[in-house]
Amino acid sequence: MAQVLTMPPRPAALLSFEEVWVEYGDKVVLERVSLQIAPQSFVSIVGPSGAGKSTFLRLITGQEQPTRGRVLMDGAPACDEPGPERGVVFQRYSVFPHLSALDNVAFGLNCAGSPLLGRLFGARRRAVREEAAAMLEAVGLQDAREIYPSQMSGGMQQRLAIAQALVRHPRVLLLDEPFGALDPGIRLDMHELILGLWQRHTLTILMVTHDIKEAFKLGTRVLAFDKRRRDPQAPHRYGATAVYDFLLDRKSPLGVLSEMEAVQDIVGIAPSFDVPL
Amino acid sequence: MRRLLNVRPRGGGRLLLGLLPLLAVALLYLGASTARHIENPRDKILPTPAAMVVAMIDMAKVDPMTGRVPLFEDTGASLRRLTVALVIATSITLVFGLALGLLPIVRAGFGPLVAAIAVIPPIAVLPILFIVFGLGETAKITLIVFGVTPFMVRDLAAHVTAIPEEQIVKAQSLGASTWQTALQVALPQALPRLIDSVRLSLGPAWVFLISAEAIAADVGLGYRIFLVRRYLAMDIILPYVAWISLLAVIMDLLLVQVSRRAFRWAHPLRDR
């Protein structure tokens, strides 16, 4: 109890979107997105192709700026370019091909420790390598320290990408279809891994996925993006927004099933039932 | 019957296939040379191999007039010019190629300039170089640098631009600054490509070297070839051309080895 009292007051929302619009010329991608993301939530983001899921994530990484509205982190605008408090894992190309697994994970620590060279020496180098090795072990890659990404399977590369992102202890971890290119069996392993890491590191995760089963299995909250309005003459003039926002109660799988059907109607694709709930 | 595109020669067969055309060319030359010598034993246009060997032994001997060995002198001078020029070109390429490829603001500012320089025929600039730098080493080295650098810069910039955006974003999300991203992400991935780029530029570099030496020089492989041309000394020209080709092949092989040793990650198939 005493410990709780000494902790700083946690803000209600880690990330908040205030009336955010993203437009390219006259094409509207996102319109009127207003959302709050609570700390330590696992938010799954689904939606049909072209519904702005990735654009939504890019607003947080800082690759994209809102045309109107604001994106706030801890109540302050902080997302104008990528930074270490927001870790990312993409579907592909997330790891550096010229670095061994250990060096890939040590990259973030090296950058923090050596602004001029991005490279450490002596005792500090040993400390960083130990920390990186521990992180590799946490994702099950302890036997792959010295090999290069080109020698790894897709699943191993994604494990490496996750370890690499977590080593800087980001406030929020952004996953853009991280398991989309993996085999179903490997995917299950990855689900276990990411859930374990999420709990152990008390992470906040936002994950874009095409797989509705995966979204409901992993998420504590599911967001579905789609267009609210459609203009058949000029479909690009209306953008997508979060049309469905569901906080998951893990205790009632029946409720989840009906919710899944609702999302399925929105997304317009059948969930793949090879993933057990 | 297998399709022609699926027939893959291996091992000894492959070696033999490669040697056959070379042997054919040699035989063709021997035949033509012999035919000319039957007609005129003093023919100079297609010298016999024996005559070429004799001429080269002369070139590899100390010249009593100068006290120097022409073949070694020429080779040393040419290789020195080539090496200095390639080192300069590579250094310029490293800085400008990385900056152009990685920084949109530099690309916007200098991209058109580099593109404009790249379309100037370097030989057309040679008179300007001779006027500005005189007839010494500087003009020759500058010609080679001018000839190969624009291509190398654009090649490297294109390669750096092609590094997936995901990697650049990932680096930043791990806290990397522009400088750290350039040094630890772009540079290491650019280096193997830079070596390839140097290899591709070796051919043009030799062309520019020999052009410059042909016009104004007192030593060098290109100088010698154009000098002895006056005496129709094919028995020196032909071995010199072969020697230049051999040097080019050796330089190319050395660069390949450097790339394989230094950048193991870029040659994944050979590792395992």
Q: Note the pLDDT tens digit of each residue in B217-245.
A: 889 999 999 999 999 999 999 999 999 99
ipTM: 0.84
Residue B16 sits in the same domain as residue B141: no
CB contact (8 A) between residue A151 and residue B266 = no
Token pair listed for A186: 């490997």
Token pair listed for B36: 């000319």
pLDDT greater at residue A274 or residue B59: B59
At residue B243, the pLDDT reads: 95
A267 pLDDT band (50/70/90 cuts)? low
At residue B272, the pLDDT reads: 36
Q: What letter represents residue A25's amino acid?
A: G
At residue B257, the pLDDT reads: 93
Residue B118 sits in the same domain as residue B39: no
A236 pLDDT band (50/70/90 cuts)? confident
Homologous superfamily assigned to A1-85+171-277: P-loop containing nucleotide triphosphate hydrolases (3.40.50.300)
- What does the pLDDT average to over B82-100? 95
Rounded Cα distance between B257 and A121, Å, is: 29
In a domain, B38, yes or no: yes
The answer for residues whose C-beta is within 8 angstroms of residue A151's C-beta and 6 or more apart is B268, B271, B272
- Highest-pLDDT range among A189-203, B25-39, B122-136: B25-39
Residue B241 sits in the same domain as residue B142: yes
- What does the pLDDT average to over A233-256? 74
CATH, residue B82: 1.10.3720.10
In a domain, B53, yes or no: no
Residue B163 sits in the same domain as residue B224: yes
Q: What is the DSSP code string of A200-246? A: HTT-EEEEE-S-HHHHHHH-SEEEEEEES---SS-GGGS-EEEEEEE
CB contact (8 A) between residue B174 and residue A108 = yes
Residue B110 sits in the same domain as residue B197: yes
Q: Which of B169, B183, B188 sits opposite A61 (nearest CB)?
A: B169
User: How many beta-carbon contacts under 8 Å exist across A and B?
Assistant: 91
Mean pLDDT of chain A: 84
Residues in chain B with CB shorter than 8 Å from the CB of A83 are 172-173, 175
Q: CA-nearest residue of chain A to B191? A: A98
Q: Please tell me the distance in Å from A175's CA to the nearest CA on chain B.
A: 12
At residue A239, the pLDDT reads: 82
- What does the pLDDT average to over B4-18? 88
Q: Is the pLDDT confidence value at A11 over 70?
A: no
Q: Is the pLDDT confidence value at B66 over 90?
A: no
Residues in chain A with CB shorter than 8 Å from the CB of B166 are 90, 92-94
CB contact (8 A) between residue A117 and residue B183 = yes
Residue B19 sits in the same domain as residue B153: no
| Helix residue ranges per DSSP H, A42-84 | 53-61
Give, rounded to a whole angstrom, the gap between the first and last alpha carbons of chain A. 35
At residue A234, the pLDDT reads: 81
Q: Please tell me the distance in Å from B64's CA to the nearest CA on chain A.
A: 56
Report CA A104 to chain centroid distance, whole Å.
Answer: 19
Residues of chain B whose beta carbon is less than 8 angstroms from a beta carbon of chain A are 164-167, 169-177, 179-180, 183-185, 188-189, 263-266, 268, 271-272
- What does the pLDDT average to over A127-139? 91
- What does the pLDDT average to over A242-270? 68
Nearest to B164 by CA among A109, A91, A178: A91
Q: Is the pLDDT confidence value at A220 over 50?
A: yes
- What does the pLDDT average to over B148-157? 94
A270 pLDDT band (50/70/90 cuts)? very low
B234-262 and B70-102 helices, crossing angle to 10° = 40
Q: What is the pLDDT of residues A173-207, one digit of tens each?
A: 999 999 988 888 888 988 988 998 898 888 899 99
At residue A2, the pLDDT reads: 45
Residue B98 sits in the same domain as residue B198: yes
In a domain, B258, yes or no: yes
Q: What is the pLDDT of residues B169-180, one digit of tens each?
A: 999 999 999 999
Q: Is the pLDDT confidence value at B52 over 90?
A: yes
Token pair listed for B55: 């001429």
Residues in chain A with CB shorter than 8 Å from the CB of B172 are 81-83
At residue A230, the pLDDT reads: 81
Q: Look up tokens 């803000």; give the residue.
A: A11
CB contact (8 A) between residue A111 and residue B169 = no
User: Domain count of chain B?
Assistant: 2
B187-215 and B221-228 helices, crossing angle to 10° = 30
At residue A255, the pLDDT reads: 62
Residue B240 sits in the same domain as residue B116: yes
At residue A274, the pLDDT reads: 41
3-state SS assignment for residue A21 = strand
At residue A250, the pLDDT reads: 58
In a domain, B52, yes or no: no
Burial class (CB within 10 angstroms; exposed 0-12, middle 13-18, buried 19+) of B93: buried
CB contact (8 A) between residue B265 and residue A112 = no
Rounded Cα distance between B99 and B110, Å, is: 10
Rounded Cα distance between B224 and B217, Å, is: 9
At residue A101, the pLDDT reads: 94
Phi, psi of A32 (to 5 degrees): 45, 55
Domain that holds residue B216: 58-271
A1 pLDDT band (50/70/90 cuts)? very low
Beta-bridged to residue A246, according to DSSP, are A222
In a domain, B259, yes or no: yes
At residue B54, the pLDDT reads: 93
Q: What is the pLDDT of residues A26-71, one digit of tens each?
A: 888 888 888 889 888 999 999 888 888 889 999 999 898 999 898 9
In a domain, B51, yes or no: no
pLDDT greater at residue A217 or residue A258: A217
Whether A198 contacts chain B with CB within 8 A = no
- What does the pLDDT average to over A102-119? 88
Residue ranges covered by each domain of chain A: 1-85+171-277, 96-169
The answer for residues whose C-beta is within 8 angstroms of residue A129's C-beta and 6 or more apart is A102, A106
Among B173, B263, B272, most A C-beta atoms within 10 A, so best to mutate, is: B173
